[in-house]
Amino acid sequence: MEQAKKKRISDEVFTIIIFSVLFLAVFFTFAMLNKNFASVINILNILKHVSVVAIAALGLTFVIAVDHADISFYMSSCFSAMLMAWLIAKGWHPVVCILAGIVAGCCWGLVSGIAVGKFKLPDKISTIAIGSIAFGAAYLFSDGAFIYTNFPSSGITSLNNARIVGIPLPVIIMLALYFLAYMVLERSKYGRQFYAIGANRKAAFFSGINVNKVIVISFVICGGMAAMAAMITTAAQGNGNVKSGLTLLMPCFSAVFIGNAVFRKPSVIGTFLGAVFTSMVQNGFTLMSVPFYISDLVVALLLIVAILSSKFELSSVGKKSAAAKGKAVAAQ
Amino acid sequence: MSEYRLEMKGIVKEFLSMRALDNAEFRLKAGEVHALLGINGAGKSTLIKVLSGVYIKDAGEILIDGEKVSINSPADAIKAGISTVYQDPQVIPSFTGYENIYLGSENDKKNVLSPMSRKELRQKAIELLKEFPLDVDLDKPVYMLSAIEKEIIAVLRALSKRTNILILDEPTSILTEKEKQILFDLVRLLKSKGVSIIYITHHLDEVSEICDAMTVFRNGQTVAQLPVEQGKVNSELIAELMLGKKLVQLYPHKAEKPGTDVLFEAQDLNLEGKFEHISFQAKKGEIYGIFGLVGSGIDEISKVLFGAMYKSSGQLVVHGKPLELKSTAHAIKSGIYLVPGDRKAEGQIGGLPIATNITLAKLQRVINKLGLVLRKKENSYAEDMVKQLAIATPSIKKKVGELSGGNQQKVVIGKGLFTEADIYIFTEPTVGVDVGAKSGIYEIMRQLSKDAAVIIISSDCEEVLGMADRVQVIYKGKCTFRSAAKDTTLSQMLVHAVTADAPSEQAV
Amino acid sequence: MNKKKLFFLRPEFALVWIVILVYAIFSVMRPEAFLSWENLMEILRQSSSTAVLVLGVTWVISIGEIDNAFPDIAACASMLTALFIRGGMSFGVAALAAIALGVAFGALTSLLVIKFKFPSLIATIAVSGIAKAIACWIGKGIPIPVTTAGTLVYNIVWYKFLGIPVLFLLALALYAICFVVQEKTKFGQYVYAIGENPQAVRETGVKSGRIMAMVFIVAALFAAIGGVLMMGIMQSGQPKMGSSFFLDGFTVVFLGAVVFKMGKANVAGTLIGAILLGILTYGLTVVGASYFMSQIIKGTLLILGVSVVTISKNKQRGKVGVLTYE
């Protein structure tokens, strides 16, 4: 008994060690291959680059924490981006535009959340449908064309360019959101409820948690965060691009699931490390002028390796026979 | 040729350190219907699982027709002519009856792309029905069928293979009286065809009706093997055999004086198809007990009392006021807490630490104004709870899933104590709990009852009688007996739980 | 018996009527673009490639899993075919190579899902990432035009046999094969049994893991075939064509799940779904509807399909004794 406990802990630690080694190895490899890589400017660059994915993935973490999946967030972020750009073109104050975009993102999340949490529709398929409707609705504003009007004069681009004590604003926004999310998910009452539902929905229900409500909230958070990611993309690109969010799906799922694999639960820190890791790889390859598709390939492979490594058990050889025996019985 | 179709000798099966089967013996003649009796945990279902290849025995031997066989998988069992119909037969809801009968054996070929003909299956099923004339529509999808028809499908699936020994695991628990007769006709028919049947049941009247012999189990051992004379089953004797004469002082003393305020009252609760006309009062200072067999509706009763299931009609009165429970959250807010019957699925969150589990149902107590959990406060509460309930763990950070059954249950109870409820409902509080931890849990319940109303709902007759001050017995969703515990005997309770028309001794 | 006579009035056939209704409405709106044999055949021809692409996804949905990888596997197959043809290979050989690659992707998915117990969503997201990356890698991120594909592919895509497009006949043939497999073999029986109650299937001793692996491989196989056909139609390999099939694919399968087998994805239904989507796409283009409109119509149809499927499943499960949050 005592021995079994020890082993399990070291299995978990082992995964974290593997990940850290991998992380450092990748970092130093790139640093050696390219002397610009480890510079402060580039590290800030990586963080700035990661902020979009990291924020969207952060929202997704909440949905994964309640053991659901959301495939609408990256499409609803396109809607939010276009709504913001359209309002900017109409001459509204950027703050209003951003707020409207975030509210819109939350609304799409609410629709998904109600479909899944309240009406118990299968999460993946119904969010694909709702996301697609959101994506279609994003074409309402300009029929799919880029929106540039008013962008330079509205001041929204300063969201991207501004720095506070030398740190780019998107990075600060990201860190602030991560801090908030950390407090909510890991420290607050609500976080407990998210994890309880994810770990055992029925037992959470018998503990007096309003399961359906929390599930709906997780989708709303996911939609809202996706809108914030869209806000940063829009500010960075200086235009409203209807397809801005379409590249988010894989990196976000990778970030959350790499974090999930390392810490054995969907967590704020895990998602952050997952996002930074994938972004670092992409940035490293970009500096070496390797085309984007190679880094995409590497990200996909990393996702597989990360999850595989969490399934790997120390001294699996010795355990195998016992596990196989247990399985034979369990399978019945 | 041996006298017996099946002999099981000296069967031992251990789980962790508990002996579920301890030198169990079982003998079955050809063409015999043999009842297997015993209270929950006596070892009968373990024996069946050993026989059907789900568990692998640790020691002992199995002989069929006098020859030793080794059964290490369900496939081995089927090869040996043993088929099992489980309590809740697994079917494919939208498939027709005949498709379900032949699921997995559509044809003899290994290649899954080999053609199968539904026409042929249907024909084969019709042939099978000719052999066993039963009233079942094989062309309907099984989700449209009644419970007995599903049961028949499952039996036919067993019979479609070469079956000499058929195991029926509590087949009547979900059947109505009329459906039961259909099943019995089938059993008699099978018997006449020379099939040996092992019949697991709690219902003694069924034993006297169709069984030829019975074996009684207690604590993993065979305590008696008796012939059954039609219509003459001494239920008192069997109850004694099943329970034994031990009754050590496992249970704390009863309440010294009757309870005072009525904190919780159920008035004529109904849930369609599950239970009807359930009424009782739970008072501060005493424990109220509800006893019924698994499947009698007691689990549903406990869930309705906690707002986890909607009732069809009836009324709950809490603290003297009618209360319409909207949700489990509402129940907890109203001072009610349920220790659910299925600990692993409903009670504990095995993947989370003890401390997190304990505070989960009332996080308001450990948060600050911002909603942040105060870990120090939480930990000290959790430490206190661990000490108070004597939960054996090196740390409150240990995951609940890694504790022993008894300690897991204590965590679930601790979660309830933390809500500071004054109405506690315990459903099957000691399933999978070893004897040492059992008395600890009983002691906690008795302590609790001093300031709260405690309700125990269980399929363990001994436990209900040992703990409760007043009891009622449920048989197929209806109350068949109610009395003060001190005026009641175990066999009295058991008899009322297994038949609707036991001689009635009126009481309180 | 009475039931059988009026089979086309049963609710399972509602979608067939909807298809006819939609066609009729468009015909009234734009008779010149709809009311002729040629137009009808053109619609069927255009539906064919989507139909083939999602054929295998049908069974993935039937067993209760999900496949996100099929659009990118198709894209990858189209690129590989184009690359090989440009490299001087014949269409047949190039197509076979591309299909083999598709099967390899399917095998990878199966390995991850069945052997390593990945959730199918994550496994297929990863595989789709790999497929997309390889598709882009092949053409350095841009499409590969193919002008010298030869007559075989030209005939498959454009030739008409007795006035019916060969492409549609090909799709029909593939659907017919799959229909027979689904309805007349043990494999088909087990696919649906696994979808409804995997435990019951395991109890009977069927190797359900092997069935699931086959389902994922078949899905990748047809995605690859669809990709090869798309290459023929577009006369180029398209590395990014995947995204346009994502919504369409699931919409088709879930609309199809509403016909014939109430609430269960099935190949005959998928074909009807593909034709409905083909009519809609063609019709919306003809009447000049925006991308926005068509996307919303498809998304709404998908939600409707999913809702009907969920409701019919709940109906089978019954309502008594359900917990209050469920």
What residues in chain B have their Cβ under 8 A from chain C's Cβ atoms?
A: 74-75, 78, 90-95, 99, 103-107, 109, 112-117, 143, 271-274, 300, 303, 307-310, 326-328
**Chain C positions in Cβ-Cβ contact with residue B98 (cut-off 8 Å):** none
Question: For B28, which DSSP code?
Answer: E
HSE on the CB side for C26, CA within 13 Å? Answer: 26
- Confidence label for C86 from pLDDT (cuts 50, 70 and 90): confident
pLDDT digits (tens, 9 = 90+) for A288-332: 888 888 888 888 888 888 888 777 654 443 333 333 333 333 333
Q: Which residue has the tokens 């137009």?
A: C39
Tell me the one-letter amino acid at A316.
S
Query: How confident is the model at residue B435, as a pLDDT?
Result: 65
CA distance A248 to A147: 20
Model ipTM value: 0.82
Measured between CA atoms, the residue of chain C closest to residue B312 is C320
Query: How confident is the model at residue A8, as a pLDDT?
Result: 52
Nearest one of A59, A82, A80, A83 to A71, comparing CA atoms: A59
Nearest one of B73, B92, B94, B71 to B157, comparing CA atoms: B92
Strand B275-283 with B67-69, pairing: unpaired
CA distance C227 to C238: 9
Query: Rounded to the nearest 5 degrees, what angle is found at the Cα of C303, between the Cα atoms of C300 and C308?
Result: 125
- Confirm whether B406 is domain-assigned: yes
Measured between CA atoms, the residue of chain A closest to residue B331 is A208
Q: To the nearest whole angstrom, how far is the Cα of C150 from the nearest Cα of chain A? A: 30
CB atoms within 10 A of CB A1: 8
HSE on the CB side for A327, CA within 13 Å? Answer: 6
Query: How confident is the model at residue C249, as a pLDDT?
Result: 87
Chains in contact with A, where contact requires at least 3 CB pairs less than 8 Å apart: B, C
Same domain, B364 and B414: yes
Query: How confident is the model at residue A329, as a pLDDT?
Result: 35
Residues 6+ apart with CB under 8 A from C261: C12, C192, C269
CB atoms within 10 A of CB A318: 11
Boundary residue ending a domain (B207, B242, B277): B242
Contact A293 C129 (CB under 8 A): no
Same domain, B101 and B19: yes
Contact C324 B91 (CB under 8 A): no
**Chain B positions in Cβ-Cβ contact with residue C59 (cut-off 8 Å):** none
Boundary residue ending a domain (B180, B207, B242): B242
Contact A210 B329 (CB under 8 A): yes
- Confirm whether C72 is domain-assigned: yes
Question: For B252, which DSSP code?
Answer: P
Q: Which residues of chain B have pLDDT under 70?
A: 1, 16-18, 40-41, 173-177, 230-233, 235, 244-249, 434-436, 501-508
Residue of A1, A3, A207, A210 best to disrupt the B interface, most CBs of B under 10 A: A207
Query: Bigger pLDDT: C194 or A12?
Result: C194
Query: How confident is the model at residue B1, as a pLDDT?
Result: 54
Same domain, B139 and B228: yes
Please state the φ and ψ torsions of residue B502, each to the nearest 5 degrees.
Answer: -75, 155
SS (H, E, C) B258-289: CCCCEEEEEEEEEECCCEEEEEEEEECCCEEE
Boundary residue ending a domain (B188, B214, B242): B242
- Confirm whether C275 is domain-assigned: yes
pLDDT digits (tens, 9 = 90+) for A160-202: 888 888 888 999 999 999 999 999 999 999 999 999 999 999 9
- Confirm whether B505 is domain-assigned: no
**Chain C positions in Cβ-Cβ contact with residue B308 (cut-off 8 Å):** 323-324
Contact A139 C122 (CB under 8 A): no
Question: For A13, which DSSP code?
Answer: H
Q: To the nearest whole angstrom, how far is the Cα of A258 from the nearest Cα of chain C? A: 11
Structure tokens at C109: 């998915």
pLDDT digits (tens, 9 = 90+) for A232-247: 999 988 888 988 888 8
HSE on the CB side for C92, CA within 13 Å? Answer: 3
- Please provide the average confidence, as pLDDT, over all residues in chain A: 85
Instruction: List, in sequence order, the alpha helices (H) in C235-258.
Output: 242-256
- Confirm whether B388 is domain-assigned: yes
- Confidence label for C6 from pLDDT (cuts 50, 70 and 90): low
Strand ranges across the sheet with B313-318: B275-283, B262-271, B313-318, B321-323
Full residue range of the structural domain in which residue B280 is found = 262-498
- Confirm whether B438 is domain-assigned: yes
Contact C125 A304 (CB under 8 A): no
Query: Rounded to the nearest 5 degrees, what angle is found at the Cα of B198, between the Cα atoms of B192 and B203?
Result: 105
Nearest one of A264, A12, B443, B327 to C324, comparing CA atoms: B327
Measured between CA atoms, the residue of chain A closest to residue C131 is A297
Q: To the nearest whole angstrom, how far is the Cα of C4 from the nearest Cα of chain A? A: 32
Contact A207 B415 (CB under 8 A): yes
Among the ranges A75-84, B73-82, B455-464, C305-314, which has the highest mean pLDDT value? A75-84
CA distance B210 to B230: 8
Query: How confident is the model at residue B418, as a pLDDT?
Result: 93
Chains in contact with C, where contact requires at least 3 CB pairs less than 8 Å apart: A, B
Residue of B45, B330, B349, B397 best to disrupt the A interface, most CBs of A under 10 A: B349
Residue from the list A115, A124, A301 with its beta carbon closest to the beta carbon of C121: A124
CB B258, CB B251: distance < 8 Å: no
CA distance B448 to C249: 59
CA distance B430 to B258: 25
What total number of domains does chain B contain?
Answer: 2
Same domain, B231 and B380: no
Residue from the list C186, C192, C321 with its beta carbon closest to the beta carbon of B116: C186
Question: Is pLDDT of C100 > 80?
Answer: yes
Residues 6+ apart with CB under 8 A from A90: none
Chains in contact with B, where contact requires at least 3 CB pairs less than 8 Å apart: A, C
Residues 6+ apart with CB under 8 A from C278: C43, C44, C46, C47, C50
Same domain, B372 and B480: yes
Same domain, B86 and B124: yes
CB B190, CB B165: distance < 8 Å: no
Residue C187 sits in a domain whose CATH number is: 1.10.3470.10
**Range with lowest mean pLDDT among A10-19, A291-300, C314-323:** C314-323
**Chain A positions in Cβ-Cβ contact with residue B56 (cut-off 8 Å):** 329
**Chain A positions in Cβ-Cβ contact with residue B328 (cut-off 8 Å):** 205-209
What torsion, rounded to 10 degrees, do the Cα atoms B120, B122, B124, B130 define?
-150
Contact A200 B329 (CB under 8 A): no
Residue B447 sits in a domain whose CATH number is: 3.40.50.300
Query: How confident is the model at residue B174, as a pLDDT?
Result: 64
Full residue range of the structural domain in which residue C288 is found = 13-312
Question: Is pLDDT of C117 > 50?
Answer: yes
Q: Is the pTM of this model over 0.80?
A: yes
Report, as an integer, the average pLDDT of A133-147.
Answer: 89
Structure tokens at A293: 């598709």
CA distance A310 to A313: 8
Q: Which residue has the tokens 């497009």?
A: C165
CA distance B158 to B113: 25
CA distance B24 to B55: 15
Exposed e or buried b for every residue in C269-305, given b needs 16+ CB within 10 A? bbbbbbbbbbbbbbbbeeeeeebbebbbbbbbbbbeb
Contact C320 B272 (CB under 8 A): yes
